[in-house]
Amino acid sequence: MLRNIALALLAVVIALGGGMASAWYAVNRFEGFGALTVGQWTAHPDAGTPMSDPYAKARAAREGAFPLGSAEGLIFYARADDQGAPLERRCTYKISGHSPNSRFWTLHAADRGLIPIEPGRGRLPALHSRQILRDADGTFTVEVSPLAQPGNWLPVAGDGRMVLVMTLYDTPVGSNSGLVEMTFPAVARVGCDG
């Protein structure tokens, strides 16, 4: 009798613990269904639409996020460099290549909770497509670094991991039918301070 009660109690603990752990994982760590990945950049085209999966809806509700609709734009996240290493605030990265296909885009750094990183007093927290310097062939290079860099510089401050957030406005990328070439800049680590 006591053995049956202990087994039943163990089953309840495993079920509750496993259920809570899987719910936490789905809301905090799971990327979601229907992810669109181009190089190091990942987006969720269905976020902000009625076809969004329940985990994306739960994440948006928990974070108080207001995702862009499919006709408005698409947000891409880069959490690792071209070697697969997580992005660190104390490191310098070079984002280089062609602009994504969109009318306008912005780029900023955020912490792992997607809260924008304050770069320090007197520094711009984001860059956008109309202010960056480009090469003759239309490509661009942005240096993401805690130290001042020449040219296009996106300053970061603090310590720990970060996420690069590129928001595309008025873009056909989310509804890509194979007719639009998706080009995104590469994220390469240049070096680390410390």
Could you give the 3-state DSSP secondary structure of residue 1?
coil
> At residue 91, what is the residue type?
C
Q: Give 104-141 pLDDT, tens digit per residue.
A: 999 999 998 888 888 877 777 899 999 999 999 989 99
Q: Which segments of 44-161 are extended strands (E)?
A: 73-78, 91-97, 104-110, 126-128, 140-145, 152-155
CATH architecture of 35-192: Sandwich (2.60)
Q: What pLDDT score does 155 carry?
A: 93
User: Parallel, antiparallel, or unpaired for β 163-169 and 73-78?
Assistant: antiparallel
Q: With 80 as the cut, is the pLDDT of residue 24 above it?
A: no
Please report the pLDDT score of residue 117 as a whole number: 87
Q: Using one digit for the tens of pLDDT, what is the confidence trace for 60-112?
A: 676 666 667 666 788 889 999 999 999 999 999 999 998 888 889 999 999 98
